[in-house]
Amino acid sequence: MKSNILQLAQMLVSDTPETSSTKTNDGIDLQPEATSPYKDLTFPLNVYAHALLLQEGRVDYLHYGLFQEGQTNLGVAQQYLTNLLLSRLPSAPCRILEVEMDLGTIFSLFTQKGYQVHGIVQEAQQIAQIHKRLGTQAQVTCQRLQDFEAPSGSFDVLLFQESSQDIEPLVIFNKGLDLLPDGGSLLIVDEFSLRRVEASAEGLHLLSDLLALANRLGFELVEQLDLADMAAPTLAYWLRVTTLQRERLMNDLSLNAEYLAQLDEFNRKCQEKYACGRWGYALLHFKKKSNPTWRLRLLEENQAPDMLALFERIFGHSMSSAMWQWKYGGGRGRAIGVWRQNQLVAHYGGMTRKILFFGQPQTAVQIGDVMVDSKERSVLTKRGPFFLMAATFQEYFVGYGKSILTGYGFPNERAMRVAERLCLYTNVGYMSEFEWPALKGTPRWLTRLQAVDSSNIEEAWIVTAIDECWQKMAEDLREALVGVRDWRYLRYRYLDHPHQRYQIVLIVNRFDGKKRGLLVMRHDLESSEIMDLVAPLREIPLLIVHARRLAKINGCSKVFCRITENFASCFITAGGIRKELEMAIPAPIWSDAPAPEMMHNLWWLMSGDADFR
């Protein structure tokens, strides 16, 4: 069970048979003045554990139950699930790694049956509960799966019981490759998202994505059981029990009513998602086939030197560490890499961007730094490094129910053809270019220029002026897709750039101080480029006039700008020479994202929307 309320990481359940005794099977007195032995567990686990203690007298598990027809006892339903898992294990003795174990009941049961079990848990409070039940000699460690190390082939089974939803799928399957022998089992029983229809992040892994990744990384699916109809009654059970035991839960756990009300509301929403088929519950049994040629991993910040070395090897020039930080640091970027043995041989990156999607705030990603070592490029099929990275990137990050709704980029013609052939992207537009001769730098009578730079960017009136210009532009583009161009973005994009220098100017009326718009320019020896503009669209001709003046002032003979073809009409009235560019704008189509037809010829993109200019 996943929770989006109160920033909780996980929602699980627990129980067993009813009893009228005032003492539990663990010898815990249930007199009214007692506080809960589970008070220190993370909310809402403390609620579920204590509710079961009050309702049924004992707490063995913290997971869903599988209810058979007519069954109402959660303890019996949970034991049914445990028995199902036992039936899928190889004969004892075999070595099991239980990932994110709950209270140790399954660990103890497996040990009694002759299995060699090691458990890992992230919560120190759960470790304390496990040691209380099993003793400190139990082979349990407090750590994350990605930090767990053991010799290759150390385990015959990796077991994830309602724990996979909190772990990156690449971590799950890469650890399976590391820790299992060929033929070893990876068992998952958990909640999954079955289909997504909302833009906001959902928290559960999309089942189809997980299955695709498993196959991509060398795991064979040998069994898949749909258990949704049997698991869903657990939610009704919790709603009933937390209502019956509300006063005791509030008193014994020192909770206010709002916490429990939010928990109930969340469980009702979960019920709705099960009922309409958006969420499900399943058992997945994978077998490791063999170690693949390439290993696919998320690129972490400490692996930036590997990316920079690959970049220089492929492109023949270096990217600085400062540039990497500007692109990917601070959580701005996402990247997936392909390794052959211990060497990074391919990279697929993206820089996140806040956008307005038909007037609604969303997040997009600009794809960039896509590179494959020349020795690995011969495979341009769905088995090659490029496809492995691009497909996994979309499954991980892009689409409904994920942190990024859609993407864009500026691929070269060859890269676009390959991506279209592999059904990764499709074309939703093209870029155009306009060019004008420079104008004399003579001041204008009605408007003036106000430089914006690091010395005044923090001044309140500058901040207000930029954001006012952006709000007017956003209103004009409410039926389009456009990257946010507010004060905060402009400061990061242009003033914080580690290498490039840009000229930013506000165009202001001389007499009434009205802000007409903002220009961002980049000058070289012969030409100036309009990198960006922020203004109501009707002000574009005026901004072009000032851009031509600035070109002359900076010693350039011409000025040009790039804009998506569908908005070229906004620039035609400013004259100039128009040139169509063979630069397609891609939209992702591999993952379940907004249909490309929705976005066709609707992006507002300029040179500043690319990271490389």
Residues 3 and 267: their CA atoms lie apart, in Å, by: 9
Q: Which domains does the chain have, with CATH numbers?
A: 5-288 (3.40.50.150), 295-408 (3.40.630.30), 434-609 (3.40.630.30)
pLDDT band, residue 71 (cuts 50/70/90) = confident
**Percent above pLDDT 70 for the chain:** 94
User: Which stretches within 88-152 are classed as H helix?
Assistant: 105-112, 124-134
Residues 41 and 95: their CA atoms lie apart, in Å, by: 29
Q: Has residue 154 got a pLDDT over 80?
A: yes
| Residue 591 tokens, joined | 């993952």
Residues 394 and 385: their CA atoms lie apart, in Å, by: 14
pLDDT digits (tens, 9 = 90+) for 237-279: 999 999 999 999 999 999 999 999 999 999 999 999 999 999 9
pLDDT digits (tens, 9 = 90+) for 417-447: 999 999 999 999 999 999 999 999 788 899 9
> One-letter amino acid identity for 612?
F
Angle between helices 45-56 and 74-87 (to 10 degrees): 110
| φ and ψ of 473, to 5 deg | -65, -45
Q: Has residue 528 got a pLDDT over 80?
A: yes
pLDDT on residue 16 = 32
Q: Has residue 99 got a pLDDT over 90?
A: yes
Q: Has residue 21 got a pLDDT over 70?
A: no
Q: Has residue 488 got a pLDDT over 60?
A: yes
Residues whose CB is less than 8 angstroms from the CB of residue 438 and which lie 6 or more positions away in sequence, other chains included? 528, 548, 549, 551, 552, 556, 557, 558, 559
**Percent above pLDDT 90 for the chain:** 78
Higher local confidence (pLDDT), 375 or 454: 454
pLDDT band, residue 11 (cuts 50/70/90) = very low
CB of 159 closer than 8 Å to CB of 99: yes
Give the HSE-up count for residue 351: Cα atoms under 13 Å, Cβ half-sphere.
Answer: 19
- Mean pLDDT of the 355-372 span: 97
Least Cα distance to 80 among 304, 233, 195 occurs for 233
CB of 380 closer than 8 Å to CB of 420: no
CB of 299 closer than 8 Å to CB of 337: yes
pLDDT digits (tens, 9 = 90+) for 103-148: 888 999 999 999 999 999 988 877 887 888 888 878 899 999 999 9
CB of 531 closer than 8 Å to CB of 539: no
pLDDT band, residue 17 (cuts 50/70/90) = very low
Q: Has residue 18 got a pLDDT over 80?
A: no
- Mean pLDDT of the 467-481 span: 98
CB of 372 closer than 8 Å to CB of 385: yes
- Mean pLDDT of the 320-336 span: 96
In the predicted model, what is the mean pLDDT of the chain? 91
pLDDT on residue 25 = 38
How large is the C-alpha radius of gyration of the chain? 29
Residues whose CB is less than 8 angstroms from the CB of residue 585 and which lie 6 or more positions away in sequence, other chains included? 408, 409, 410, 427, 428, 429, 430, 431, 564, 603, 605
Give the HSE-up count for residue 309: Cα atoms under 13 Å, Cβ half-sphere.
Answer: 8
pLDDT digits (tens, 9 = 90+) for 188-213: 999 999 998 877 777 899 999 999 99
At 392 the three-state DSSP class reads: helix
Residues 58 and 25: their CA atoms lie apart, in Å, by: 6
- pTM of the full predicted structure? 0.88
